[in-house]
């Protein structure tokens, strides 16, 4: 098994050096799980949709695995010093898959289109005053206020550019072209055999010379995890995206000949797992109890055993892969004695607590059992609740839990993916993605607000460091793991993962060695 | 006495009885054998059986002792089997007895009601019930009882109908006994033997049902059972066969034992019927 080392592979570098003996041609079979509901990325942003449609549609920018912006539809960009104006210079000679030319008009149209259909885009764009296109290849965005994380909101999943000539003046949701998506990306849509495969083919007129390399992409739909593993073993499939097979199978598959794996390509999402701890009532309302939970859990054990060594034990709310992370916070090593002391100190009376696992398969069930056992050993009696996905959503969204597993994406910046879980304005019944635990700290709220609009990155770091230190002390939720979903692929597939969203836009640069 | 003797001369039944007693003993002794419980993570995960002292059957995906799980699983299986069978008898026997004894519209009503349950596949109905009630030991037991009583009602009805036509029942009627006391004192005691045989087989079926539910992830997540062990091991069956093999053996043995006992009882209770065809 070879682990792909930090391939902070700059696209510019590839293009400059040109011939690193990259070979053109070939066919690549990938798994997509589950089958996406649609490929129209402007309307639907499910994970499987992003994975396939990210080859068809493009954003203005891409991000490398260090989350630094890279050229995509925009070849150059600049931010004014006060953080109030963003200017993008677009690539020339770009055309849509149907041959129509692409221009700044399409970008302007997309901002309108997405405001109606894309919740996360709407959030980021609420800081925007106006957008203008001084000429066919320039876009200027004027802000209402400086908003640091804005520069992280331009990749294909956050802001896919959609064709104006197809959607203008139509009802977007029922436009029949949604079934045959037209983008500017390196691959064109050919055919979608429902329940079986999605076929994309090389865009011969792609605006970057020499790209893409591969002729045909087949995204295969295989509903059962064990069958997906078998499909990879028999050579029917070349790439298993993260999460396509159970963790236990990962070790077995990566021991095969000519099989590589990489945990890169998730930096932008940085999936962060934790347990919601109900801050409102019961023993979990006491800070000492929550700290005891942190000390009682053997998180390294879970990482090694349940996740087969993949992932990192987090220090707090911000993933180490996300910008503005700090490890200068109170630490919670596995220390059952310390946990017992804290419980004694608060006078915990042995009230049992309920634990709601995430209904996403065996891995999560085993995880809940391990936590139950850990907590039981320091004297906390845990009853595991059971619920299907709908029941889990309902219980967490309506605060009917004591402790509940979850994991959420961070989108590269604490203001985009972290703040929502800890500020008071995000306490709202009905959503399982906001401040579900009910953590209230007005001082922190002020700091969050300040940090989001601070134009200077060093000052932002200071603010976020302060926030992380305080929040880790309070333990509003119990952080469990920075999840890594290893991508498993044949070693002769090269340059597969070069960006912070990995497979979602990575096929542009990939090639197959014969 | 003769009944007991007849039962003891049946080797299969004896074997079954021996296995069942062993399972019961293990279940009762579980807390003594493994005071830390079945969930304790005692060693490295995926230890192969017979490779480590003190862990004869190896460890599972989290490093839990497989044998400890089996021992505690025996308690759940027996408990669910017995309680749900008892509940099914409490529903099925009165309903069948009333239908068979009173006949006419009582019979019609009771039998249509029974058929209503019989037309829905057992296992599908059990899944739906458990899913609605949320999986706990209680809800699983109730669900199994609800899907297993119809055959009891059918059997009791048929038995009661045949016994009611006997002369001593007419005699009791002439003596002026009330319907209820005829049913309870004269009729039902004479239908007991087939019910006992059926009940022993129902315990076996109930154990299988509970295991199947747990296998599908519909078990009580706080309780270690054989079905749960197999279900949890399903994803690693190719790399760790022992995780599903030993609980499977435990289920097979227990169910086999109950079937042997049931057959033995049948032979002992109905010597004339069952020995037919055998030399």
Residue-wise pLDDT tens digits, A314-358 = 999 999 988 899 999 999 999 999 999 999 999 999 899 999 998
- Which tokens belong to A334? 């596995």
Does the structure show a pLDDT above 70 at A17? no
Residue B135, chain A, CB below 8 Å: the answer is: yes
For residue B213, is it within any domain? yes
* Alpha carbon B197 to chain centroid, angstroms: 12
Tell me, what's the ipTM? 0.83
Q: How confident is the model at residue A488 (pLDDT cuts 50, 70, 90)?
A: very high
Higher-scoring residue by pLDDT: A7, B32: B32
Chain A interface test: which of B34, B38, B61 (most A C-beta within 10 Å) = B61
Give per-residue pLDDT as tens, A352-366: 999 999 887 788 889
CA distances from A65 to A412, A500, A502 (A): 10, 4, 8
Q: How confident is the model at residue B1 (pLDDT cuts 50, 70, 90)?
A: low
**8 A C-beta contact, residue A246 and residue B235:** yes
**A92 closest CA partner among A105, A101, A79:** A101
Cβ <8 Å between B235 and A248: yes
Give the Cα separation of A142 and A231 in Å (integer). 50
Give the distance from residue B61's alpha carbon to the nearest chain A alpha carbon, in angstroms.
8
Q: Please report, rounded to a whole number, the percentage of residues in chain B having pLDDT higher than 90.
A: 55
Helix (H, G, I), strand (E, B) or coil at A356: strand
Cβ <8 Å between A248 and B62: no
For residue B57, is it within any domain? no
**Of A116-130, A221-235, A283-297, B265-279, the least confident:** B265-279
Q: How confident is the model at residue B271 (pLDDT cuts 50, 70, 90)?
A: low
Q: How confident is the model at residue A475 (pLDDT cuts 50, 70, 90)?
A: very high
The pLDDT of A48-77, averaged and rounded, is: 90
Interface of A with B (CB under 8 A): 225-226, 246, 248-249, 252, 301, 305-306, 357, 362, 365-366, 368-370, 372-373, 376, 383-388
For residue B270, is it within any domain? yes
**Of A220-224, A370-374, B32-36, the least confident:** A220-224
Contacts of A369 in chain B (CB under 8 A): 39, 62, 221
Give the Cα separation of A17 and A426 in Å (integer). 48
Q: What is the pLDDT of residue A174?
A: 87
For residue B203, is it within any domain? yes
Domain containing B80 equals 3-43+63-278
Q: Name which of A248, A372, A384 is nearest B236 (Cβ-Cβ).
A: A248
Given the DSSP bridges, would you call strands A2-3 and A259-262 parallel, antiparallel or unpaired?
parallel
Say what the pTM is: 0.82
For residue B52, is it within any domain? no
Q: How confident is the model at residue A20 (pLDDT cuts 50, 70, 90)?
A: low
Does the structure show a pLDDT above 90 at A466? yes
- Kindly list the structural domains of chain A, giving each domain's residue range(s) and its CATH number in brackets, ordered by start: 20-56+185-265+486-513 (3.40.190.10), 59-165 (3.90.76.10), 272-483 (3.10.105.10)
For residue B96, is it within any domain? yes
**8 A C-beta contact, residue A220 and residue A237:** yes
Give per-residue pLDDT as tens, B68-110: 999 999 999 999 999 999 999 999 999 999 999 998 899 999 9
- Which tokens belong to A5? 């080392």
In terms of DSSP H, where are the helices of A168-254?
A: 225-233, 247-254
For residue B215, is it within any domain? yes
Residue B36, chain A, CB below 8 Å: the answer is: no
Cβ <8 Å between A248 and B232: no
- Which tokens belong to A259? 């099989």
CATH of the domain at B158: 1.10.3720.10
Contacts of B238 in chain A (CB under 8 A): 252
Locate tokens 């030991």: which residue? B137
Cβ <8 Å between B235 and A357: no
In terms of DSSP H, where are the helices of A219-315?
A: 225-233, 247-254, 287-296, 299-305
Count of domains observed in chain B: 1
Q: What is the pLDDT of residue A18?
A: 45
Cβ <8 Å between A366 and B61: yes
Give the distance from residue B60's alpha carbon to the nearest chain A alpha carbon, in angstroms.
11
For residue B51, is it within any domain? no
Q: How confident is the model at residue B268 (pLDDT cuts 50, 70, 90)?
A: confident
Q: What does the DSSP assignment read for A310-327?
A: -SB--SSSS-TTSTT---
Q: What is the pLDDT of residue A10?
A: 40
Q: What is the pLDDT of residue B176?
A: 87
The pLDDT of B151-177, averaged and rounded, is: 90
Q: Name which of B41, B131, B234 is nearest A373 (Cβ-Cβ).
A: B41
Q: Name which of B39, B135, B239 is nearest A369 (Cβ-Cβ).
A: B39
Question: Of the ranges A93-97, B21-25, B168-172, which is most confident?
Answer: B21-25
């Amino acid at each position: 098994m070879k682990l792909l080392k930090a391939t902070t592979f700059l696209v510019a570098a590839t293009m400059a050096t040109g011939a690193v003996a990259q070979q053109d041609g070939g066919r690549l079979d990938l798994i997509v799980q589950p089958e996406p509901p649609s490929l129209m990325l402007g309307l639907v942003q499910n994970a499987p949709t992003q994975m396939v449609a990210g080859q068809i549609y493009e954003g203005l920018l891409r991000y490398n695995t260090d989350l630094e912006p890279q050229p995509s539809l925009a070849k150059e960009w600049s931010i004014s010093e006060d953080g109030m104006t963003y200017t993008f210079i677009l690539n020339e000679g770009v055309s849509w898959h149907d041959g129509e030319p692409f221009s700044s008009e399409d970008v302007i149209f997309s901002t309108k289109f997405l405001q109606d259909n894309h919740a996360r885009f709407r959030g980021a764009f609420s800081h925007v005053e106006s957008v203008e296109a001084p000429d066919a290849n320039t876009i200027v965005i004027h802000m209402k206020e400086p908003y640091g994380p804005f520069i992280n909101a331009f990749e294909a999943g956050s802001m896919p550019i959609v064709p104006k000539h197809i959607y203008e003046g139509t009802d977007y949701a029922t436009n029949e072209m949604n079934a045959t998506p037209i983008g500017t990306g390196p691959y064109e849509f050919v055919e979608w055999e429902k329940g079986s495969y999605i076929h994309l083919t090389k865009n011969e007129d792609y605006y970057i010379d020499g790209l893409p390399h591969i002729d045909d992409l087949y995204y295969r739909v295989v509903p059962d995890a064990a069958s997906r593993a078998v499909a990879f073993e028999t050579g029917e499939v070349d790439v298993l995206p993260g999460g396509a097979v159970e963790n236990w199978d990962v070790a077995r598959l990566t021991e095969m000949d000519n099989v590589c794996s990489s945990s890169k390509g998730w930096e932008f999402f940085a999936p962060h797992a934790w347990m919601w701890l109900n801050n409102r009532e019961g023993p979990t309302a006491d800070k000492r109890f929550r700290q005891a939970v942190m000390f009682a859990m053997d998180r390294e054990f879970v990482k090694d055993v349940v996740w087969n060594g993949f992932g990192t034990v987090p220090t707090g709310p911000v993933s180490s892969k996300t910008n503005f992370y700090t490890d200068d916070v109170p630490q919670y090593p596995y220390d059952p004695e310390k946990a017992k002391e804290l419980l004694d100190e608060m006078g915990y009376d042995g009230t049992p607590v309920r634990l709601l696992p995430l209904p996403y398969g065996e891995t999560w069930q085993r995880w809940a059992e391990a936590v139950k056992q850990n907590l039981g050993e320091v004297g906390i009696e845990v009853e595991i609740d059971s619920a299907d996905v709908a029941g889990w959503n309902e219980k967490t969204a309506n605060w009917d839990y004591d402790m509940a597993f979850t994991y959420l994406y961070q989108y590269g910046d604490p203001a985009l993916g972290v703040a929502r879980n800890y500020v008071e304005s995000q306490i709202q019944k009905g959503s399982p993605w906001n401040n579900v635990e009910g953590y209230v700290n007005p001082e922190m709220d002020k700091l969050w607000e300040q940090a989001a609009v601070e134009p200077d990155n060093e000052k932002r770091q200071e603010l976020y460091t302060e926030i992380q230190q305080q929040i880790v002390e309070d333990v509003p939720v119990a952080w469990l793991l920075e999840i890594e979903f290893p991508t498993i692929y044949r070693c002769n597939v090269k340059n597969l993962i070069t960006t912070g969203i990995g497979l979602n836009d990575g096929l542009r640069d990939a090639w197959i060695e014969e | 006495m003769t009944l007991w003797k007849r039962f003891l001369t049946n080797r299969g039944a004896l074997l079954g009885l021996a296995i069942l007693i062993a399972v019961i003993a293990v279940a009762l002794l579980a807390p003594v054998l493994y005071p830390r419980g079945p969930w304790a993570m005692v060693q490295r995960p995926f230890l192969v059986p017979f490779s480590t002292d003190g862990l004869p059957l190896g460890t599972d995906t989290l490093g839990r002792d497989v044998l400890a799980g089996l021992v505690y699983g025996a308690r759940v299986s027996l408990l669910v089997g017995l309680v749900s069978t008892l509940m099914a008898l409490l529903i099925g026997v009165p309903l069948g007895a009333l239908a068979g004894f009173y006949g006419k519209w009582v019979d019609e009503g009771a039998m249509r009601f029974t058929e209503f349950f019989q037309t829905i596949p057992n296992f599908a109905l059990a899944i739906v019930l458990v899913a609605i009630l949320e999986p706990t030991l209680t809800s699983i037991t109730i669900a199994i009882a609800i899907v297993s009583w119809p055959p009891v009602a059918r059997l009791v009805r048929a038995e009661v109908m045949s016994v009611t036509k006997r002369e001593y029942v007419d005699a009791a009627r002439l003596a002026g006994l009330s319907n209820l006391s005829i049913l309870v004192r004269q009729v039902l005691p004479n239908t007991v033997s087939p019910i006992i045989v059926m009940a022993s087989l129902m315990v076996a079926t109930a154990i299988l049902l509970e295991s199947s539910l747990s296998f599908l992830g519909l078990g009580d997540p706080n309780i270690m059972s054989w079905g749960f062990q197999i279900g949890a091991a399903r994803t690693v069956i190719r790399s760790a066969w022992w995780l599903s093999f030993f609980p499977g053996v435990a289920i097979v043995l227990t169910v086999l034992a109950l079937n042997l006992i049931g057959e033995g009882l049948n032979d002992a209770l109905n010597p004339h019927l069952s020995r037919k065809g055998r030399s």
